[in-house]
Structure 1
Amino acid sequence: MCLACYDPSIAESAGINPCHCDAPYTHQAYARIDADLRRREVLGGMAAVVGMFAGFGLAPREARAQTPGRPILLTNLRFFDGTDLSMQVGRDILVENGVITGLPPAGQGPADAQIIDCGGRAVTPGLIDCHWHATLVGVSQVAALTQDIALVHLVSGQEAGATLMRGFTTLRDVGGPVFGLKMAIDRGVVAGPRIFPSGAMISQTSGHGDFRLLSSLPRLTGDADYTERTGVAAIADGRDEVLRRTREQLMRGASQIKIMAGGGVASPYDPLETAQFTLDEMRAAVEAAADYGTYVCAHVYTPTGILRCLEAGVRSIEHGQLADEATIRAMAEAGVWWSLQPFLADEDANQYTDPRSIAKQQQVAQGTVRAFELGRAEGVKMAFGTDVLFNPAGARSQGRQLAKLTRFMSPLEALHMATGAAGELLSQSGTRAPYQGRLGVIAEGALADILVWDGDPESDLDFLGEPETNLRLVMKDGRIYKEQLA
């Protein structure tokens, strides 16, 4: 309204009516202004949405691919190839179409190559974490088991980008609804590491993957609870049910199967010493996986559970910190893999408030040092993993966890566990492996996952704990996701 609308005496004294509020052209002007304001609202909302996705790490990070037709040549470097326990010099690294195609003598690479001068720094293969939960690490246990699964997936997208920026270019995900995240990363929707997915953790009733409240018992029908519906876990009792749940994960794209073969720290109702799944049930999972050309890995701590896993044909023991000497010798003789984590109940450990979980955590920590010592003495094949779970702050300790292995072995031996050895474990997936090519090594024909560091891997690995400042270049699949070499 104009002033004349409020005070008609103005028009009377002027002898005219200066009010145009009701004129058609005024209404048209108002309509144009309103439309413009609404457009600005929409744009602002879109910007907010884009900002939200960027803030969650779901806006793809800038990745620089090599110039079409031109190879990339990394020069002026010393490198650990993931296999030999030494730093090599006098060679460059040639990358073409996402693959390492050669290690020519320094200065003798192709003349048309795109040169990356590493400034004399240390170069390693991309790191591999063989026991990770990509969708469960960045949220609390309450959030993961009760809140809208969309939140869990958004946070996992954020964490995937952060994981890649820590130098972990490949993960073996051993439990959780990770298939969508893997597809998003592989399609370039979000930045993140390669993922070898297990899908839902397969557990017996009352097992380490049974997250139901006691108020949910007894289950009188076949209805699944929240964790089963969202793909966190799958409860199976009896051979037929184990076959069904295993085949469901394979149908969804699992590269290996994860079963719960003993008690756990985080779960309140199953003591560590419990043996879970009968031998026949375990064999059902192993047989179904073998029919698909892959293998079963098993969460388990104790000798009884481990020996049952070996008899059933399980190929990878996850944790196992309470194994005795005879059991560890049996693992070596069977040629199974030991995915062993530095569980030390220290400042980087998963945090628990339940006294039962705290007590179990201490028990596992006491067995960790002995497990590493005996495992190495017996020659068990060991690969690195962290198992950071329901611990957003703890996720950032991933590189620091790897550095802790130098308490038990030389720095290059520890680095080997997270590169060449881990790549060998991943190769157990056979034709179910989602990526074709060697991982964890710098060698001709290997996939081009390459890191450049400020640090000396021959003396210590402490630099892994501060990737923000020490990790100068991140290359995955021949694409550069971070470069700070100047």
Structure 2
Amino acid sequence: MVAPACHHHLHGHGPCCCGSPLLQQFHRRIMADLSRRHFLGGSAAMLALFAGLRAPRLVAEPSRQPRGPLLLTGLRLFDGSGTPPREGVALRIEEGRIAAILSAEEGTRLEMEGERIDCGGRVVMPGLIDAHWHSTLAAITQAAAMTADVGYIHLVAAREAERTLLRGVTTVRDAGGPAFALKRAIDEGLVAGPRIFPSGAMISQTSGHGDFRMRHEVPRGSTTSLNEIERQGVATIADGEAEVLRRTREQLMLGASQIKLMAGGGVASTYDPLDSTQYREEELRAAVAAAEDWGTYVMTHVYTPRGIQRAIRAGVRCIEHGQLADEESVRMMAGEGVWWSLQPFLMDEDANVYPDEARRESQRRVSEGTERAYALAERFGVKTAWGTDILFSPQNTPSQGRQLAKLTRFYDPLTVLAMATGNNGELLGLSGPRNPYPGRLGRLEEGALADLLVVDGDPSQSLDFLADPEPHLRLIIKGGRIYKDSLDQARA
């Protein structure tokens, strides 16, 4: 399927459509409706968009809270560290956390009120964490955004949140966009979905990767009002240290768990070419300082060595993309302990098809860079995160698990699985006191949040079972609550 052409950068599975006229009109409609709702009824009226929503499920089964403590027996435990699965253990879950890891014998002898689930020798593993996801815009097409009612657009996002959870992704780090309302709706139990670590609006310089204005909107005067993209919280333009400081603090005020800045160009961009370097070092430092004052960190969209190195010198803690990095840049990442959030941007079945040679060439450069990036990350021991960055591509959201499984071409399966569980959980921990879900994520150990999967598959051999989640993910638990149970066994 050929996706509709867009005018901004490639997100691996298709071009980023963030700055297209279609999306700009879509955001104007969203903001007009939300502003009207807020004026008439306040925040409750805005949240009412989600009230009573029950999205279609991949399995016809309601979620449920176990009756008291939950004991999982008959399992092999992959704890998220990357070590092979352990046998002869049992898990006790209580009040949404892992209360204890017991021996199989202890589990058999334990007398308790609650539920026992025999996993039938299957692997129990932490829920997956997608470190680069766009919760609001992953599953909406350009055509739907242009023609649908605003309520429908919100329903699509909520439905996709549930489907994301049922693919085994129990947590996402939202890499930019208005995800605060959806996060709240999920946390309050109005809809099912993963935990969301929101970044809020992407912060960009004028002419940067988050400047989505049309040409007729330039120049911007000192008294010119914000454009619709900025008002609705997708992106915001900030030039100079003072403006960057203000916009960063605004996102923190709204509840951002980390800050997202645009520090370089993208593929097939209208204004900012792929090789452009964005933000002066002092501007980046202003955002880093504001984030650090709140106990959290800055992540940056950037591809090139010059942009990567500038971001690292400014104190940025996580590089998003970076597929054109050279050895010097990767050495800097490793030396400074900077995270590298990579996505499998490859010219494969999940990539978009471009009609013109210029964008195909840019796509080729990024794809080749992806191959080099994973090799360099492993060679220099850089802390590497996994994310998908699916945006505006509902045809690609079902491939989320496959985007992880394909990384076995670069690493052994257990290393890949650790990247999407324990490693990504460590990355999320950089948000410190801004962490909206205090507790250990991505690991199955005493005291950790009880987000886990029971799977038909052997992760020490292959991760192909993640590419087809419906038959292979037998039990999905988030926060101790069961969202899917297709295990065939008697309950004690």
Q: Percent identity between the aligned chains? A: 59
- SS of the counterpart of 1:181? helix
- Partner letter of residue 480 of structure 2? G
Distance 1:226 1:141 in 2: 17
- Partner letter of residue 72 of structure 1? L
Query: How does 1:181-196 map onto structure 2 within 5 Å?
Result: 181-196=182-197
Distance 1:463 1:156 in 2: 25
Say if 1:311 and 1:255 are closer, same or farther in 2 by CA, change over 3 A.
same
**CA shift at 1:105, angstroms?**
0.5
Say if 1:462 and 1:438 are closer, same or farther in 2 by CA, change over 3 A.
same
Aligned to 1:451: 453
Contact 2:127–2:451 (Cα < 8 Å) also in 1: yes
Larger Rg: 1
- SS of the counterpart of 1:95? strand
Contact 2:55–2:158 (Cα < 8 Å) also in 1: no
- For residues 305-359 of structure 1, the C-alpha deviation after alignment (integer angstroms, 9 at most, x for no partner) is 0000011000000011100011101110010101111110221135656765443
Is 1:206 aligned with 2:204? no
- For residues 200-228 of structure 1, the C-alpha deviation after alignment (integer angstroms, 9 at most, x for no partner) is 00011111111222232222343222211
CA RMSD of aligned residues (A): 2.2
- For residues 22-56 of structure 1, the C-alpha deviation after alignment (integer angstroms, 9 at most, x for no partner) is xxxxxxxxxxxxxxxxxxxxxxxxxxx99994457
Aligned to 1:105: 103
Distance 1:322 1:285 in 2: 24
Query: How does 1:53-68 map onto structure 2 within 5 Å?
Result: 53-55=53-55, 62-67=62-67
Distance 2:311 2:199 in 1: 17
- Partner letter of residue 395 of structure 1? T
Aligned to 1:392: 394
Say if 1:151 and 1:361 are closer, same or farther in 2 by CA, change over 3 A.
farther
- For residues 234-258 of structure 1, the C-alpha deviation after alignment (integer angstroms, 9 at most, x for no partner) is 1111111111110110000000000
Distance 1:433 1:355 in 2: 44
- Partner letter of residue 446 of structure 1? A
Aligned to 2:85: 87
Query: How does 1:86-485 map onto structure 2 within 5 Å?
Result: 86-109=84-107, 110-112=110-112, 113-141=114-142, 150-220=151-221, 221-265=223-267, 267-350=269-352, 356-485=358-487
- Partner letter of residue 429 of structure 2? S
Say if 1:101 and 1:182 are closer, same or farther in 2 by CA, change over 3 A.
same
**CA shift at 1:122, angstroms?**
1.3
How many residue pairs are counted as aligned between the two chains? 434
Query: How does 1:66-77 map onto structure 2 within 5 Å?
Result: 66-67=66-67, 70-77=68-75
- SS of the counterpart of 1:116? strand
Query: How does 1:29-68 map onto structure 2 within 5 Å?
Result: 53-55=53-55, 62-67=62-67
- Partner letter of residue 472 of structure 1? R
- Partner letter of residue 208 of structure 2? G
Distance 1:167 1:292 in 2: 31
Contact 1:75–1:106 (Cα < 8 Å) also in 2: yes
- SS of the counterpart of 2:197? strand
- Partner letter of residue 63 of structure 2? A
Aligned to 1:34: none
- For residues 132-151 of structure 1, the C-alpha deviation after alignment (integer angstroms, 9 at most, x for no partner) is 11011112357669977544
Say if 1:141 and 1:268 are closer, same or farther in 2 by CA, change over 3 A.
farther
Distance 2:55 2:66 in 1: 27
Say if 1:308 and 1:183 are closer, same or farther in 2 by CA, change over 3 A.
same
**CA shift at 1:66, angstroms?**
1.8
Contact 1:56–1:157 (Cα < 8 Å) also in 2: no
- For residues 60-88 of structure 1, the C-alpha deviation after alignment (integer angstroms, 9 at most, x for no partner) is 97221121xx3101111112100142111
Say if 1:160 and 1:213 are closer, same or farther in 2 by CA, change over 3 A.
same
The answer to which structure, 1 or 2, has the higher relative contact order (CA under 8 A, 6+ apart) is 2
Contact 1:388–1:395 (Cα < 8 Å) also in 2: yes
Distance 1:362 1:159 in 2: 30
- Partner letter of residue 223 of structure 1? S
Contact 1:266–1:352 (Cα < 8 Å) also in 2: no
**CA shift at 1:179, angstroms?**
0.2
- SS of the counterpart of 1:104? strand
- SS of the counterpart of 1:429? helix
Distance 1:440 1:55 in 2: 26
- Partner letter of residue 237 of structure 1? D
Distance 2:147 2:283 in 1: 29
Distance 1:354 1:242 in 2: 36
